Every structure is written in structure tokens, then in C-alpha cells.
Amino acid sequence: MQGDGFHLYDTTLRDGSQQEGLNLTVADKLAIARHLDDLGVGFIEGGWPGANPKDTEFFRVARTELNLKHAQLTAFGATRRAGVKAADDPQVAALRESGAPVVTLVAKSHDRHVELALRTTLAENLAMIRDTVSHLRAEGRRVFLDAEHFFDGYHANRDYALEVVRTAAEAGADVIALCDTNGGMLPDELADIVHDVVSAGARVGIHCHDDSGCAVANSLAAVRAGATHVQGCANGYGERSGNANLFTLVGNLQLKRGMRLVSDDQLAQMTRIAHAVSEVTNVALGSQQPYVGLSAFAHKAGLHASAIKVDPNLYQHIEPATVGNDMRMLVSSMAGRASVELKGRELGFDLSGDKARQVVDRVKELESTGHTFEAADASFELLLREELTGVRPRHFEVESWRTIVERRPDGTMVSEATVKLHAKGERIIATGEGNGPVHALDSALRVALGRLYPELAKLELVDYKVRILEGAHGTSARTRVLIESTDGEREWGTVGVEDNVIAASWQALEEAVTYGLLHAGYEAG
């Protein structure tokens, strides 16, 4: 378990889940909590028991089904209501009954919010804080306090904001997290305020939102100023522009500031965990996310590639494997010989001599017609094999294909496809249906080849993108299709470019199947 000298505190399950379009079931929250525990965070805020049935159920289920190895589960809630004793407040009772060993209370620290939102007096707000913290401490709970709107409150009434911190600390709160609730602070000013609060003697934490694009920078500045508790959300999830990105914080604090927050093995799982959480939330992980994004260590410009060929660290701030990521070479019209050589080496091909220049010329020729290989590694590998051997890898020869779209009397739309091909000495004709022409072609191709290549049963299309390349031509414009496929263990991308969107789709689909069969061990003809 993480030591108590510095806290890495995750609030994905509560604050992060307030992101637009992000809806977590109890099972989702349990799965994410396990992933965060694998990373080695110290505290996982599970939600607000008593405020909604889902969070209450989560804490009930967590008692028996969530076996945390590193983290402590934390329940979030508010201080007691005005005019009611903490011991008699049902919301406080829900915090007690959650079973969580740690409770994080949110309290107003901005005088205007106290009077307008809570509709009570400044003195009563302090009494609410003192009474609730003291009560929960007496009940055996460790208590943290989130001082909501602290920085805005500090500007409006410094003395009162500091009095909130002082009251919570004297009542027994272990940490008072200063919240940049509106996310508008900048690092230099925030650091000055944190230093002022730390000088008053309380243990201080930081909770930042990203509305000014500074959530991570503000959090780092707060730690530099003396905060010993930092809060964040996986992948920067959260309301509006999100919260401080937990994974970026871990990378920066451990690799740049030398703070030992998680083990080397846990850090090496960070990319996997970021993507696993993304799968659970069904919110795509940004490809350019620091440390863990697909493009975090991707290199496209030829100048970069030439330098990386000599020493990868010339254009990389860390070794990608440290956080479980990989360096990627992107092949495009911007690429030079070095880019292609490195990409070939990555794929297991020797492109020394004139071979690299030959491939570069071919790539630039194809990109001039609309192809792109940045997100189509599989298509690039097939191109490499063709350029090096003079033969395009093929497991089947296509005689013809066609699709039909039918609107039936009940209003439903059904697509049917027929493919005619030759494979392993056989001529095969197969049909398939789908909810669209591409789906129908995919189905027909599987029917045609499934008996000869059983591994096709594992292949699945996971993404499909269409881009019109010459918008001025309207519906007759040249079209590029990118398809992402998986066999359950690895993912690969293929590209097709044609004047017809169905033809472009077929090209990308055919290459996806060919690549999948190659890597399943089937020798191409």
C-alpha cells in the first residue's frame, strides 16, 4: 500500500463520472477500481453513498467483491445540513454505513457560496464542518476535506477561506484538499496561494479542473508549493473540460520529480490500464494523451526519424517501455528514408541499401492518390512485402463481388453481398447479409473462406472510418476508408482508396483479412 507521506488520490468513479456521455454501472465501477488498484493509487473515491442508489449499491457490493491490494476505498459526501446535528443527518449516516475506512467531505470555502448556495451564515458553515469532521472521526473514520471553490474564495475573502482550512484541521481532518472547482487558475498564482495555506500549518492537498488547460500544471505547482495529496481522474475524465489527468500526474511526479509513487512494474502497466479503463467507460482514449496515448511516442517527420535512427532519446523525453507504451514510426509523404528503415525494422524487415528509397517512392506515389499509412500499419506491411519480393501476399484471388441494398415493405433495410473467389484450388461462391453493404461483404467473405481458414472466426472489425478526399466533387469524390480489425490479441489497420466507397471498403477489408491470415500462420500464395 502507498505510504502516508504523499497521497495519490483517484476520483474517477465520482468526479470523473460527471463527464458528459460517461455513464458507469456498478460493475463498471468495480472493474475500474480494480484497474486503478493495479496501478497502485493510494485512495479510490467510490462515489457518494446516500446521494444516489447506484453509489449506495456500489459500496454495498464492494464490501464483498472488491479486494483492494494497494488502495483504500473512500466515500464522498457533504457536511451536515444547517441546523441539524451530524449524528442525526441521514446523509452523514450513509457515509458511516458505507463501510469505507476513509470519508472525503466537501465543504464550502467561498463566502458567497455559503450565503447563496447553502443559504446559511458563515459561522454556521464552520460549525457544520467542525461537527461533521469530529463526528466521523469519533466513529473511527479517517477524514479528508475538499475545500470547494477554495481559490476563488481566497480571492474574495482570504481570512474566511483560511478559517475553513483551520477549522477542518482542528476538528481532525487529516488533509484539506484545495479545490480549483471552476478550473480557472494558473500555476504561478495557485502556487503562491498553496504556499500561504501550507505556511498556516495544515496538511494540504490539491484538486484541479482543466478549464484553463492547466489542471496538471496547477497540480504540479501545488505539490512544489507543499501539497502532499494530489487528486486526479483516469484519462482526464470529468465535468466540462475534465479533471487533472491521473496518468499524466503519475508520469510527471515519478519520472520528472523523482517521487516514488508506484513500483516500476506498476508504472510499466500504466498504458495498459489507461486503455483498459477507456474500454470500460466506452470513451475513446485520446491518441495524443501524454505517456499512454497511441501517438505519445509516434514519429512522422523524416528529420526526426533520421535522428531517432542514431539515438531514440534525441526526440523522446523518456523510454516508452517505462510506462508500457511503444515507439511508433509513421509512414507518410513526410517520411524520409530513415522513417521507412525504422518502420521496416519495427515490422521485422531489412530495408538497407536502395530498398528503403524504393519503398519511400512507392509510399509517396500512393499518398498522392489519397492513401495514408499512418493508421494503416497492416496495409504498409503488405506493401513492404510486395516491394521486397515483387509479389503481393494473397490467400485468395477475387473473381468478382457485388452488393444489393433492399428496402423491404416493413421499412427495414437489408444488404446482400455475393463474392466469387479462388482459394486453395477451389472456386467458391458465397453470399452474406448485413445491416449495410460493407457488413454484407464482410459476412460473404467469411462464409467463403471460413471452412479453409478457421482462424477467420476470431477476426472482428472494430472500427470503420470514411473520408471524402475531394469535397468539391460531391458524391463523385474520391473516398478513403480506414478499417481497424482485431483477432482478440492484436489490432491492425488497413486502408482502401477508390472513387466508390464500397470499392474502397472492399480493398481495406480484403487487406484486413489477408493480414490477419498471415499473422495467424497461413502462408500466402
Q: What is the pLDDT of residues 208-235, one digit of tens each?
A: 999 999 999 999 999 999 999 999 999 9
DSSP helix/strand/coil, 480? strand
Between 226 and 462, where is the model more confident? 226
Q: Which of 299, 52, 7 is nearest to 176 (CA)?
A: 7
pLDDT score of 187 = 97
How far from the centroid of its chain's Cα atoms is residue 385's Cα? 34
Q: What percent of the chain has pLDDT over 90?
A: 64
CA distance 120 to 122: 7
pLDDT single digits (tens) 324-352: 887 766 655 555 555 566 667 777 777 77
What was the pLDDT predicted at 350?
Answer: 75
Q: Please, what's the b/e burial string for 41-69 (b: 16 or more CB within 10 A of its CB; e: otherwise)? A: bbbbbbbbbbeeebbbebbeebeeebeee
Question: CA nearest 492: which of 524, 461, 458, 449?
Answer: 461
Q: Mean pLDDT, the chain, as a whole number?
A: 89
Homologous superfamily of 397-519: Alpha-isopropylmalate synthase LeuA, regulatory domain (3.30.160.270)
CA distance 506 to 498: 10
Query: Given pLDDT bands bounded at 50, 70 and 90, which one contains residue 472?
Result: very low
| Rounded distance between C-alpha atoms, residue 64 and residue 55, angstroms | 15
Is the model's pLDDT at 303 over the cut of 60? no
Q: Look up the CATH architecture of domain 7-281.
A: Alpha-Beta Barrel (3.20)
Alpha helix stretches (DSSP H) within 111-214: 111-113, 122-138, 150-156, 158-171, 187-199
**481 and 375 Cβ atoms separated by less than 8 Å:** no
Query: CATH 3.30.160.270 in the chain, residues?
Result: 397-519
Order of strands across the sheet that contains 479-486: 460-468, 479-486, 491-498
**Sign of dihedral through CA atoms 322, 211, 144, 166?**
positive
Mean pLDDT of 48-62: 94
Sequence ranges of the chain with CATH classification 3.20.20.70: 7-281
Q: Tell which residue, 48, 57, 55, has the closest CA to residue 77.
A: 48
Main-chain dihedrals φ then ψ at residue 402, nearest 5 degrees: -155, 155
How many angstroms separate the CA atoms of 464 and 485, rounded?
9
Whole-number pLDDT of residue 2:
59
Q: Which segment, 332-336, 380-384, 428-432, is predicted with the most confidence on average?
A: 428-432
Measure the CA–CA gap between 398 and 428, rounded to whole angstroms. Answer: 10
Residue 218 phi, psi dihedral angles, 5° rounding: -65, -40
Cα distance between residue 179 and residue 227, in whole Å: 12
pLDDT at 58: 96
Overall average pLDDT of the 131-150 stretch: 97
Judged by average pLDDT, the poorest of 5-19, 344-358, 372-386 is 344-358
Q: Per-residue confidence at 160, pLDDT binned at 50, 70, 90? A: very high
Q: What is the pLDDT of residue 305?
A: 54
Torsion, CA 512, CA 517, CA 518, CA 521, rounded to 10: 160
- Please determine, for residue 300, whether its predicted confidence score (pLDDT) is greater than 70: no
